[in-house]
Structure 1
Amino acid sequence: MSAEQSNHFPAINKAHVVDAIINAYRLQQPEPFQRGGTAFEQKCREDIAYHLDYLNMAADADAPEIFAEYSRWLRDVLNSRNVPARCVAFSYELLITHFANHHPEESVLLGNILEAGIQAIDDDKLPQVAQTLPANALEAEKFSLLISQGAREQSRNLYFDKLKQSSSLAQTNLDLLQPSLYEVGRRWQINQLSVAQEHMATAICQNLMAQGFGKVPFAANNGKRAVFAAVEGAQHALGIQMVADGFEEAGWACDFIGANTPLADLLVYLDREKPDLLGLSATLPVDIAQAKRMTAQIRAELGNSCPVIMVGGLTTNYLPRSWELTGADIWAVNAVEAIKESK
């Protein structure tokens, strides 16, 4: 949803829905608002807006499992911080009532998705994004502990030992960095790591990737050019940087643009550079809607000069149907597979 309106349901005004749910919440449970004041209300508004974003994407895909996964993730984040997840289920119930009363034509679809979210909050399944490391990932487990503790020298030694043994930089990053960072994210989710530790771990990995990039031999230039970027609004770009580095190692000329790439600027860049491939990263479920919007507009604006569009990212890995929603030409689960798919 945009700031004001749902993409999938143009008759539903997002701001009005948020106001209505806040008023209903305050009427039925006034105590938290009295105790928490303006700060509590603002946090509730932000949370309900997020619920609506994920609800819209699940409705657009007719895929309740997308909303269920979001709800499991949110449940675990809240529970690990001693915040009862039933407050989220209560807000879903208020949304069901609101849509039934004010948008009956959409209430069945939206109600079914919200019910899937309530069931997910009450079940005991782990969100797929939070699955633990595989049993044989001993190096990745050790590395994740080192980077989250800020052990830069030990992290560097382990990374370069792995790089010497590996067939490529892309394979090293896939085998060591990617699962380690997933584990760091999982440990933040269950409140075992702070945001500061998560950011430190990411910074250490970025530094090691840059050092590794300067040490590996590159394949001969294959005459192809690729541009890689995270979709507009997405702040996570380390994964797509791994992909860009892997492509350059494999002989492509690559431009890595980074996080939160404005569509208007990307269009100008693509029109000028005319790459063979555009790689877009969608890390969070809400990024899928942006990838869809960007893909459609890039095709419309560039016409026959539009590059092949590849999409990937964490969300597309644990919700495999989601990549199809973007309208991209191809999808890959990681950097190594992306290089194979693009040959």
Structure 2
Amino acid sequence: MAENDDSGLHGLQNPARSARSGHTKPAATEPQLSSSDHRTLERAIRGSVSSIVGASHPDSTAPHHGPNNGHDLALHPEHHPLARQMPGAEQAIGYRDSLLACLIDPDPRRHRSFIEELVRASVPVRTLAVHLFAPVAAELGNRWCTDEADFMQVAVASTRLSMVVNHVSHAAAHSTVEPRAQRRILLTRTHGAQHTIGVSIVASCFRDMGWAVEGGSDLEIDESLYTRLSDKPYDLLGISVSRVDEVRNCSEVIRRVQATPKIRKMKIAVGGPAVVASPLAFQRIGADFVTRSALDVMQLASHV
């Protein structure tokens, strides 16, 4: 997985934290911002971090309320009736506090030992994706937005979480027999997508359900994407979208795919923080599927 690009964020502080610390630069060297400017800056920084901790596909950027209840399914997918039926759900839920603790622990050995424990537990990866990885990613975003964690803590934790997801997913894939007629998915992202956790979780779900997974956070929607699509057949193209203003870019990809005879029968799914935040903006751009959660992804992998 590609490393998160936070070059535009280093050195920027949350104004609220700066006020609490009591440390200020001399007025002569620091531009004075109005309270409105401070709020705008803070929203921009928080929005960028929310994309990094990704939970694009895990719903970290907005509450996702399920049927017959008012629970936030981003943090508590167990309140969804279908999620409750997943094998190993209770065991996966029981790991949440331990995973959060090891992600923020200064000692990196703790999350490495946690990976070994998860592999030994043999909980289905799709269950871990829905009940453990996605809620923890959402909680990381919440901790940033509530000032319980600073940018560097969240950045380190998100990187470790991606490592956990990838290691567990690949370990499970190596222990299963691949089907003869394997379905293929190609994962890609928009140019503005900085997150990688969401893409990792999506990949883990599809891989666990027998799909051949290619692409990922390194593959942007540029000419290299169309080269990959023309090289071999895929059953599904998954596009992760970070910003709502990239809806036009997604629409152009879909239009181009559907206008190309060789690949136009391939299904297309969109997801990501932008889709979670503004699902209606993506409903009529031609995508076959619009996903807002890890549970949506799991159901998609089952039925395509």
TM-score with structure 1 length normalisation?
0.56
The yes-or-no answer on 1:341 pairing with 2:300 is yes
Q: 2:215 aligns with which of 256, 271, 278?
A: 256
CA-CA distance at 1:158 after TM superposition: 4.6
Kept after mapping to 2: 8 A contact 1:229/1:237: no
Q: Determine the structure 1 residue equivalent to 2:153.
A: 197
Kept after mapping to 1: 8 A contact 2:185/2:214: yes
CA-CA distance at 1:250 after TM superposition: 1.2
Letter in 2 for 1:208: V
Q: Which has the higher contact order (CA 8 A, sep 6+)?
A: 2
Instruction: List runs of 5+ in structure 2 lacking aligned partners.
Output: 1-7, 9-13, 20-32, 41-60, 65-71, 79-92
Q: 2:110 aligns with which of 154, 157, 166?
A: 154
Distance 1:165 1:319, change over 3 A: farther
Kept after mapping to 2: 8 A contact 1:144/1:181: no
1:1-343 alignment to 2 at 5 Å? 85-87=35-37, 128=62, 133-134=75-76, 139-158=95-114, 161=117, 167-216=123-172, 217-218=175-176, 220-221=178-179, 222-259=181-218, 261-300=220-259, 302-303=260-261, 305-306=263-264, 307-342=266-301, 343=303
SS at match of 1:236: coil
Letter in 1 for 2:62: Q
Q: Tell me, in whole angstroms, the C-alpha distance in 1 between the residues paired with 2:77 and 2:257.
A: 42
Which shows bigger deviation, 171-180 or 257-266? 257-266
Deviations 1:36-95 (A, max 9, x none): xxxxxxxxxx9xxxxxxxxxxxxxxxxxxxxxxxxxxxxxx76666676534899xxxxx
Distance 1:146 1:179, change over 3 A: same
Distance 1:141 1:290, change over 3 A: farther
TM-score with structure 2 length normalisation?
0.63
Letter in 2 for 1:268: T
**Percent identical residues:** 17
- Number of aligned residues: 232
Which shows bigger deviation, 192-201 or 332-341? 332-341
**Which protein has the larger Cα radius of gyration, Structure 1 or Structure 2?**
1
Q: Tell me, in whole angstroms, the C-alpha distance in 2 between the residues paired with 1:134 and 1:340.
A: 18
SS at match of 2:171: coil
Q: Tell me, in whole angstroms, the C-alpha distance in 1 between the residues paired with 2:283 and 2:162.
A: 30
Deviations 1:228-281 (A, max 9, x none): 111233221221222122212211112023246042110111011221110111
Instruction: List runs of 5+ in structure 1 lacking aligned partners.
Output: 1-45, 47-76, 91-126
Distance 1:229 1:135, change over 3 A: closer
